[in-house]
Structure 1
Amino acid sequence: MSAKNTPLTSVTVIGLGAMGRALAGALLDAGHPTTIWNRSQGKGDELVARGAVRAATAEEALRASELTVVCVVDYDAVETILHPLSDALQGRVLVNVTSDTPERSRQTAAWAAERSIAYLDGAVMVPTPLIGSPDALLFYSGSQEAFERYESTLKVLGGKAAFVGTDPGLAALYDLSLLDFFYGSISGLVHAYALATADGVKAADIAPYLHTIVQILPPIAQYTAANIDAGDYPGAQANLGMMAAGVEHILHAARMRGLDVSQLESIKSVADRAIVQGHESHDWASTYEALRGRN
């Protein structure tokens, strides 16, 4: 049989929340035979109308395909659904894109390995409208053999399918690290708007100028990573002492306007500890040493 005529991988999707439906939809769009199952009834009718097969039971769903993607609310739900049905998964590949910690990922991988289930842990890094697009980023870790065997199928879910290592906890670690940056950044954005609006300036008046800050972040991300990995924090262009003083100015202004300053106080506290450790003349990356509790 030619590669052109090779049947597409059959895939089961367990969990039909918004993300699960998006994943199943992307598989259907690409022509993959897709079986779906959800614990509660009433979800997935539009997928069935597009050609998906709704399994009557979770066991039927697992036995229907060589590859199963599970996307449910948490790892407790994963265990409730899958642990009693390990025989149905034996010899198959399980891709778990449920969000949790690296520790839970490793525990689930160990459970799978004991039962001869090839396991990939995954993390979806884009909202549902981007699922199936070339720019959609999903991290995977665990069984490299399974990733390489089904890479073309996984790229149907997101063109930027990144295998980050055989440690099954790494996908979750990458996920949490990126979200750590995101939530800190979006919280800073909202606080910036609160500072401006406290004096009657509209948030929309500030927004057009934020691209100046946003545009400098990619190179900052690169050299900060390099400095942290090297343990070297040159501060010739902007040192920590100067920047900590800038944070103090924002703190003062925010307090005067009655804003919540807990995030800013935490930022200033970490910077101050790094300065006490001798990093005043170094760049902001040196606060890493304070975060890690190092002297």
Structure 2
Amino acid sequence: MTNQSHDPSTTPVTSPSPVTVLGLGAMGKALAGAFLKAGHPTTVWNRTPGKGDELVAAGATRTATAADAVRASEVVIVCLYDYDVSQAVLGPIAPELKGRALVNLTSDTPERSREAAAWAAEHGIAYLDGAILVPVTVIGTADALLFHSGPKSVYDRHASTLKALGGNTVYLGEDHGLAAVYDNALLDFFWTSMAGLVHAFALAGADGVKGADLAPYLSALLSIFPPIVESMGGEVDSGDYPGDQAPLVTEAVNVDHVIHASAHRGLDVGALGGIKAVLDRAIAKGHGADGWTATIEAVRAP
């Protein structure tokens, strides 16, 4: 038997794939910058001329038209204001996109994602829908979370390129709407939490408590959320909402206290009123002895 040694010089070296980025807002510039940093030949275009000077200085090629930018790469990333804008840009250049992979990282609804996928299929465009869950400063790092949905064959073919945008790049499934579903759900939690945070500062501040003094205790409160999230996720799936420790009838009284204290101080109680209304509907449906997760029965469509 002959021992064969491996000569590294004979191993094919795969060069990073060329990428086109359409849209040079703050996020689009961050995406293009991440591709450049990862060694991908990057072509950029923006609806408003003049943007992207720093990208050009870093090695990107800027084109005068979206069609010219698309012709430069097999993978085309679009990141614009919404799907009305992205469709206005992509519609006229559909023939140029045919046979290429189009990855839409524009935020919108699952319905718009599926409509865009149907349009892409009609024009022979390999289409992935995506969502970005981090601010521009995190793009290109190991912590950057991005979701993708659509044909797995398309994702697998371009996964190494897409992972230049973030170390936590996740493929969700064939349904093009899934990235938007996850995006909307996570943003739902984020924005309602941010609203609660601001309201808590306002409530304490009305009695002279400084935000900096309250902040450490709000931060400590966050430590209980991971196990709560996991537990409630299981309860939602099972339809079992144990309330032996904190039944809804008790929680409704606690929410009432916060509403009364807030109203007495002249604060807006719209969000809290909405929470109380959901609680009341859940209790009216017979869930008074159940836990907080049971309010999902008052949130869901009948």
Whether these two folds match at TM > 0.5 is yes
Who is 2:236 aligned against? 228
- Is the counterpart of residue 74 in structure 1 residue 78 in structure 2? no
User: Who is 1:279 aligned against?
Assistant: 287
State the TM-score, normalized to the length of structure 1.
0.97
- 2:109 aligned partner: 101
Q: Which residue of 2 aligns with 1:156?
A: 164
Corresponding residue to 2:40 among 9, 22, 32? 32
Q: Supply the AA of the counterpart residue of 1:165.
A: G
Residue of 206, 211, 222 corresponding to 1:214:
222
1:186 to 190, 194, 210: 194
Q: Distance in 2 between matches of 1:98 and 1:161?
A: 16
| 1:56 Cα deviation from its structure 2 partner | 2.2
2:173 match: secondary structure: coil
- Structure 1: how far apart are the matches of 2:255 and 2:92? 53
Cα distance in 2 for partners of 1:3, 1:129 equals 36
Tell me the alpha carbon deviations over residues 194-218 of structure 1, each in whole angstroms, 9 at most, x when there is no partner: 0001011111110011123201111
- What residue in structure 2 maps to residue 90 of structure 1? 98
CA distance in 1, matches of 2:301, 2:84: 33
1:2 positional shift: 6.4
Q: Which residue of 1 aligns with 2:3?
A: none
2:6 matched residue in structure 1: none
Normalising by structure 2, we get a TM-score of 0.95
In the TM superposition, what are the counterparts of 1:116-195 in structure 2 within 5 Å?
116-195=124-203
Unaligned runs of 5+ in 2: 1-8
**Where does structure 1 differ by over 6 angstroms across 4 or more consecutive aligned residues?**
none
Say if 2:20 is the partner of 1:22. Answer: no
Change (3 A) 1:110 1:252: same
Query: Following the alignment from structure 1 to structure 2, what is the Cα–Cα distance between the partners of residues 55 and 41?
Result: 9
Among candidates 274, 297, 301, match of residue 289 of structure 1: 297
How big is the shift at 1:4?
A: 5.8
Q: 1:62 aligns to what?
A: 70
Structure 2 SS opposite 1:215: helix
Highest CA radius of gyration, 1 or 2?
Answer: 2
Q: Percent identity between the aligned chains? A: 57
1:5 maps to which of 10, 13, 16: 13
The size of the alignment, in residue pairs, is 294
